Amino acid sequence: MNRVPLQQPQNCGPWELKERLGTGGFGNVTRWQNKDTEEQIAIKQCRQELSDRNKERWCLEIQIMNRLDHVNVVAAREVPEGMQQLVATNDLPLMAMEYCQGGDLRKYLNILENCCGMREGSILILLRDISSALMYLHSNRIIHRDLKPENIVLQQGEKRLIHKIIDLGYAKELDQSSLCTSFVGTLQYLAPELIERQKYDVTVDYWSFGTLVFECITGFRPFLPTWQPVPWHNKVRLKQDDDIVVYESLAGEVCFSKHLPQPNNLNSLLLEKMESWLQLMLKWSPRKRGKEGNSFSQLELILQLKLVHVLNMMSAKILTYKVAEDETVASLQLRIEKDTNIPAANQELLLEAGLALEPQALATQCAIDYTEIDGRRTDLPLVFLFDCSSCSYEPQFAPRTLPENIRFVQTDPKHLLPYSNLRRTCGQAWHTIRSLKEDWQRLQQGQKAALMSLLRHNSSLSKQKNEMVSMYQRLTAKQEFFSTSLHVDMDKYQEQTSTGIASEKLLGVWREMEQTAISCSKAKVVELEEEMMKLQPDIVDVQRQPWRSGETLETLEGKAMELFRNLREKPREQRCPGDSQELVRLVLQAVQFYERKLKDFYTHLSKTAVCRRRVMELLPKVEGVVQEMVENEQVLMSLQERRQKELWNLLKVACSKVRSPVSGSPDGLRTSSSVPPLLTTGHSLQQLDESLVEESKAYESHLQSLMHNTMQESVGSMEMLREWVWLRGDQNFSSDLS
């Protein structure tokens, strides 16, 4: 419908006339808005010159709408009080409906970007909505009979567009004159039995629905859309049951095909399933149409598919997989292995944010749910596949299969094409360049995922490096303290040997402890730190992304779009044949640019992979050194405890030597010859000379003082080694790598 500007404002109570939406088969449609509630409705008014039969159909449509209630069927509304008298020009009732602000599907299909078909998500949403509406109508014994893009309107829902069927209960009079004058357009969607005036059933809606879906996928109607009725009927009826398209090539040949033509926006898996479904819906015979396996049941299975799109970064190809609700990523990887020959153990599956998919996680987390997102979006989620065993990425560019029209004009760009063929070829040229641009953007997303993964691992490496350096400083300090305290003990020990207490065995053990402590501080920290510092400039370099140069493709796409727009907007009197030289030049430039830049891209991707491998190799090394230092720290603690025990044993022996009534030294100890024994067998203390008694008392007092001082030093040493408040790692002794 064409919208007509208002000549003058018009009101009916709180309702205000906003605009004339256009003229349909039966009458005019206007939009009204309630000034109080801002509710909007569409009012359809029947023309007075309708035949009696069509007036009956008009009343029938109002009756049908008033008893239907489905989200995908436009809802009836109450006609505002007084509007019948104000607006009506005859005795036929007005029809009030909900207003759908998105316009009709024809308007959406006419957008330049949809010249070669709608986006995959938009098609799936349309299939879900219209199939649901048709099943509802058929269950209520209603056949629409005039399903076409003009009779489907769009309304923006909370999360996505909602499609609604309008014009219920209406079919045009198919007399001879209407067949001749209006076939191109509406009658293209009518089932053959309606055109042939045969008996029909709900399968007429199957044909219309299949024709409509084909146009949404490809951008044009399936069966010779520009032909006149009689030759059209004679040619199309020759198609086989499984043929879903009959078209005239640029060479003038009429071709039949069982497959959806390129270009379109469906993935390979969905393309195959939609071809099978269309073969069911577009059978010429109504007895066979839609009957095998029930067309709506088959469509429901398609709509329930959980699809995961995997971009193989080794080949720049997208692989599409149907996944079950309980299928794990590990199971998906086995299927990927069969298609790519990349072992599952070497696969890394990344999301765009650089997060790796865990093998035990569900694969459906990556599936697209079109009930939750707007199907018109182009930035749909992808999973990026990398081969961890390889750091050398070579471009394996297999050029996209060019559309048939583009291949034809490449052979002779100066060949003059009729306007309609030239316009379609121009649209295909633009779509080809846009597809190359989007391929390039997807590769950039994969590179971004690889870079984000690299930075995430590098951040972990940086944290471990800081932990390693901090622990190394603590370990070194503990080792130095242990060695220093050990030397002090050894010096003190040497000093007291003159008192008569000595053990070569103990001295040897302490010297062994010293060597063990020195070996504990020998870790490859400096070497690892230097290796990590050398890695950082390379990581910074890959972040500069010198390969980002997709602007040329965007420029070429813009030029192709402008060429296409100018061609479409030509006045009818100027629509003459033309050549394709400019189209061919733009496509050729785009393909050459893509191939050339692909080499630079994979060189850069290889650098990223090399950096990632270096990081992944360093991580276990750093972890190993940290673990080794943890163990060495425990060794130092055990050495300190052992040394403390040896000191206590030494003191115990010294005490027993001083206080024992038995002369002689314990095993391993000797008494200096210059020091007389404190207690000897067969002598009593009373028999000793007074001077000897005084000397012994002085010696005992000196030894007790020495024991006390030694015990204090030992306890203090042990406490300091255990606490190390100043070396607990609270301070960061190394700057972050990044």
> Quick check: 471 and 734 in contact, CB under 8 A?
no
Residue type, position 331, single letter: S
* DSSP structure string for 245-267: EEEE-TTS-EEEESSPPSS----
Element (H, E) at 234: helix 229-236
What's the CA gap between 237 and 184, in Å, rounded?
Answer: 17
What's the CA gap between 2 and 107, in Å, rounded?
Answer: 10
Label residue 213 exposed, middle or buried (CB < 10 Å: 0-12, 13-18, 19+). Answer: buried
Helix-strand-coil split of the chain, %, nearest 5:
55, 10, 35
Write out 358-386 in H/E/C secondary structure. CCCCEHHHHCCCCCCCCCCCCCCCCEEEE
C-alpha atoms less than 13 angstroms from C-alpha of 193 in its C-beta half-sphere? 20
* DSSP structure string for 55-121: HHHHHHHHHHHHH---TTBPPB-PPPTTHHHHH-SSSSPPEEEE--TT-BHHHHHTSGGGTT---HH
Question: Of 516, 529, 525, 727, nearest to 626 (Cα)?
Answer: 525
Query: Rounded to 10 degrees, what is the CA torsion of 445, 448, 449, 450?
Result: 130
Task: Extract the tokens encoding 515.
Answer: 């060597």
- Owner of token pair 């297999």: 398
> Quick check: 370 and 381 in contact, CB under 8 A?
no
Parallel, antiparallel or unpaired: strands 307-312 and 383-387: parallel
Task: Extract the tokens encoding 583.
Answer: 């189209």
Q: Is 146 a catalytic residue?
A: yes
Give whole-number Cα distances, 682 to 163, 383, 657, in Å: 120, 96, 17
> Quick check: 349 and 357 in contact, CB under 8 A?
yes
Question: Of 370, 113, 374, 377, nearest to 219 (Cα)?
Answer: 113
- Owner of token pair 């379109």: 264
Parallel, antiparallel or unpaired: strands 15-23 and 11-12: antiparallel
Q: 663: which DSSP letter?
A: -
Task: Extract the tokens encoding 92.
Answer: 């036929």
Residue type, position 506, single letter: L
What's the CA gap between 427 and 263, in Å, rounded?
Answer: 10
* DSSP structure string for 599-642: HHHHHHHHHHHHHHHHHHHHHHHHHHHHHHHHHHHHHHHHHHHH
What's the CA gap between 545 and 558, in Å, rounded?
Answer: 24
What three-state secondary structure class fits 12? Answer: strand
Convert 111-140 to b/e letters by CB count within 10 Å (16 or more is b). Answer: eebbbbbbbbbbbbbbbbbbbbbbbbbbee
Give counts: helices (H), strands (E), the chain: 18, 13
Residue in 104, 129, 146, 489 annotated catalytic: 146
> Quick check: 382 and 449 in contact, CB under 8 A?
no
What's the CA gap between 499 and 634, in Å, rounded?
Answer: 35
What's the CA gap between 4 and 31, in Å, rounded?
Answer: 11
Reported residue count of the chain is: 738
What's the CA gap between 453 and 385, in Å, rounded?
Answer: 13
> Quick check: 130 and 163 in contact, CB under 8 A?
yes
Question: Would you tell me how many other CB atoms lie within 10 Å of the CB of residue 233?
Answer: 17
Catalytic site positions: 146
